[in-house]
Amino acid sequence: MMKKLDLLYEGKAKKVYKTEDENVLIVDYKDDATAFNGLKKGTIVGKGAINNRMSNHIFRLLEKEGVPTHLVEELSDRETAVKKVEIVPLEVIIRNVAAGSFSKKLGIEEGRKLLRPTLEFSYKNDELGDPFINGYYALALGLATEEEIETISDYAFRVNDVLIKYFDSIGIELIDFKIEFGRLADGTVILADEISPDTCRLWDKETREKLDKDRFRRDLGNVEDAYEEVFKRLGIK
C-alpha cells in the first residue's frame, strides 16, 4: 500500500502528503470545519471519513459519466491517493436553486428554483476572501486559458447533470455546489478537491431540511446527524 511521506500542505479541512510516486499525493481528511474564510472554527465529528468516502463514491460515478478526476485509490476511511495536479485558482460554483450568497446579493428568497443553472467563479485567494470574478477576469489575470475555462465550464455543467439525477434518486435536492479543477503535468484539466456536504447544499427532497454544512455555518444544530444522513443514503457497502 502507498505510504505517506512528507506533509506537503495543510488546508482547513485536509492534509496533503507526498508519496514515493512523484505524480501521486495522499489526501487525509480532517474533522475540522471552518466558515466565513476561517473566522468560524469547529469540529464535525466523523466528517473526515464521510467526506472522504462520499467524495470518492461521487468521483467514481463521474468518471463513468466521462468526467476525469484526480481519484487514484481510497486507502482508508480518511485517506485517498490522488493524482498530483496544479490547482486552477478558481472555485467553480453551479446553482440550481437560489440560496446563500446568491440570495443575499440579489434579494431572492432561499429555495426559489432558478429558470436554468448558473455558473460563477471565485478567485481562490484566502487573503481576499475568495472574491466573485467572471471568465474575463480569469483570462485577464492569467488564472486559466480560454480553452481551460471552456473545458471547466463544460465539465461543471456535466457534473451538475449527473449529480442532480443521482441525488434525486436518494431523496436529495441539489441546490448548489462548488468544485475545483487541476492540471496534470501535461496540462490536462481534471476534477480535483472534493464533493461532499462541505461543498454542496443538499436539501431533503420532501421536507427541504438542510443536510449540509449550512447547519454548521448557521448554527442550526444536528450537524453530525445531517452528514450521517447523507452518507447513509449513499448506500456505500
The residue ranges that bind ligand TMP (CB under 6 A) are 93, 99-102, 130, 176-178, 199-201
The residue of the chain with the least Cβ separation from ligand ASP equals: 34
According to the binding rule CB under 6 A, does residue 125 interact with ligand ASP? no
Q: Is the dihedral of CA 136, 62, 211, 117 positive or negative?
A: positive
Q: Nearer to ligand ASP by C-beta: 37 or 188?
A: 37
Distance CA 60, CA 119 (A): 23
Site size for ligand ASP (CB under 6 A) = 8
Q: Tell me which DSSP letter residue 210 carries.
A: B
According to the binding rule CB under 6 A, does residue 213 interact with ligand ASP? yes
- The listed partner (ligand TMP, ligand ASP, none) that binds 12, CB under 5 to 8 Å by sort, is ligand ASP
Question: Which of 8, 32, 34, 103 is in the footprint of ligand ASP by CB under 6 A?
Answer: 34
- The listed partner (ligand TMP, ligand ASP, none) that binds 38, CB under 5 to 8 Å by sort, is ligand ASP
C-beta of residue 45 within 8 angstroms of C-beta of residue 33: no
Distance CA 17, CA 79 (A): 10
Which amino acid is present at 88?
A: V
SS3 label, residue 204: strand
> Cα separations (Å) of 159 from 44, 63, 64, 116?
26, 10, 11, 15
Minimum distance of ligand ASP from residue 153's CB (angstroms): 22
Q: Is the dihedral of CA 39, 55, 132, 146 positive or negative?
A: positive
According to the binding rule CB under 6 A, does residue 188 interact with ligand ASP? no
Minimum distance of ligand ASP from residue 176's CB (angstroms): 12
Q: Nearer to ligand TMP by C-beta: 4 or 15?
A: 15
Question: Which of 35, 61, 184, 234 is in the footprint of ligand ASP by CB under 6 A?
Answer: 35
Which amino acid is present at 57?
A: H
Longest dimension (CA), the chain: 51
Q: Which spans of this chain sit near ligand ASP (rule: CB under 6 A)?
A: 12, 34-38, 213, 217
